[in-house]
Structure 1
């Protein structure tokens, strides 16, 4: 789908405003690709852990430079994907819904994050009974929780999230295994009553595409090239939008809406199917 500059400007009339955010990250100290649980992972491909650490560190510095708070969870040996902190918790108004991973290789991550929340004084911490990969499949818009399913998170986890977090949930069906989590196909550009998203329509079922068009008529629509570099695995503070450096088409479209794209190299982390958002849990 091609979006003209004029259409983008009309759809993005509201001036983007940055707000201070609170993020949780985990260094990729033990990052490697030892197994394959998504189409991006190839255990036979070489992985440069030092480069992954450098890319992660630049992402963290970028958040701090933009004025955001970043807290760090201690990585654990034997958990190479713990760097993808977004998969280990969903936090709205101080309530925490933990995670329950589909892949046994990642299961132990959930307990480390649960302990981290409790050590920092969070008392409303609930661990899910259904498979739920947290912000991998949950995106808070400030008024509703968009919830993905199809490859990882169970549909029944959506109702559980609504009950625990006390916010309305809208279910979305993912259909392309390359975009196995919601955060590989959609992210929130602006939160609030006039929330705006960016997304890749072909990652969703026909019905879910209709829902998204109805809910977000001013959405920034990404193309195949944007999606193929995990460009939709972005992080926005309402104005500054951190994207993989290859997502140049998406960067141009959001810039036409008044956002400030910040392009970073996440090539090593992408070998495990991750990007900026995967590495970033937001405490809403």
Structure 2
């Protein structure tokens, strides 16, 4: 995670961002600290990346890489204003023993890549290049399922889909192309389907450890759906980050454990 010390909405690179709407930086920082305490209270370790002056979006660490075990594919941001974040993520990961591969194609890390323990779900359409799927397969040697986003409000995969465990996802179908909806229905016939109301408060921008699901407090119906499936919803308020089109997952880069599976895929730890 990276504290939103310099958080601001100074440009508009997604439909949520309006520089004319005031941002309360102190409130954003308080909400971020509460999110960090939530993870620590659930027994997770939180490592902190030093924020850089002039990088107001750096709080959204999910975009910095995809990390599985001791290997990572670094980010290459589409927006020039975020380009300086990528080297900071690479340095941190390298300093902590991760083999970071330099990207050829544009990708925005876990913003568009979701590791399920069996395969990588890879989103494109607004930020990440479809050609990044080839890089993912080369770097991690696991199956990659390409998904195409069609609604600009759901500009990253992590705004429209969350992985709950190695067999279950939750997603908002209307964010995806028809072919991607068919693929998701085929891969995950028992997926939880989110409503538009919950998707539009970025309720799907959530983090699951397989038992607890940390998600936006405003996504009340989604929390109930998740609880019905046996998971424990953990609501938090990150509404100030929503002014920049971000939420729980955006503010969290997960350091996934590797599997010992062959490319055919078996369940892995998250």
Normalising by structure 2, we get a TM-score of 0.94
**Using CA pairs below 8 Å that are at least 6 residues apart, which structure has the higher relative contact order?**
1
* 3-state SS of paired residue (1:72): coil
- Quote the offset at 1:121 in angstroms: 2.1
Q: CA deviation at 1:239?
A: 1.0
Question: Which of these residues, 101, 107, 111, is aligned with residue 77 of structure 2?
Answer: 101
Q: Which of 129, 137, 141 is the aligned partner of 2:112?
A: 137
Rounded Cα–Cα distance in structure 1 between residues aligned with 2:181 and 2:133: 18
CA distance in 2, matches of 1:167, 1:283: 17
CA shift, 1:162, in A, is 1.0
Q: 2:152 & 2:234 partners in 1: Cα distance?
A: 27
Structure 2 distance, partners of 1:169, 1:121, is 25
Gaps of 5+ in 2: 257-270
Q: Say whether 1:115 aligns with 2:91.
A: yes
What is aligned with 1:247? 219
How far, CA to CA, are the matches of 1:141 and 1:272 in structure 2? 26
TM-score, length basis structure 1 = 0.89
TM-superposed CA distance for 1:256, in Å, is 0.5
Give, in angstroms, the shift of residue 120 of structure 1: 1.4
Q: CA deviation at 1:29?
A: 0.5
Deviation at 1:197, TM superposition (A): 0.2
8 A contact 2:70–2:97 mirrored in 1: no
Report which stretch shifted further, 173-182 or 86-95: 86-95
Q: Does 1:162 align with 2:134?
A: no
Shift of residue 93, structure 1, vs aligned partner: 2.2
Alpha-carbon distance in 1 for matches of 2:136, 2:53: 30
Q: 1:127 Cα deviation (Å)?
A: 1.5
Displacement after TM superposition at 1:136 (Å): 0.2
The Cα of 1:168 is off from its aligned counterpart by 1.1
Give the total of aligned pairs: 256
Corresponding position: 1:265 with 2:214: no
SS of 1:281 mapped into structure 2:
coil
Alpha-carbon separation, structure 2, partners of 1:240 and 1:121: 28
CA distance in 2, matches of 1:117, 1:237: 21
- Structure 1 CA distance for aligned equivalents of residues 48 and 133 of structure 2: 27
CA distance in 2, matches of 1:239, 1:118: 30
Q: Which residue of 2 aligns with 1:85?
A: 61
Moved over 3 A (4+): none
CA RMSD of aligned residues (A): 0.6
Note the residue ranges of structure 1 that are not aligned, 5 or more in a row: 1-24
Does residue 184 of the first structure (1) align with residue 156 of the second (2)?
no
**Alignment correspondent of 1:147:** 122
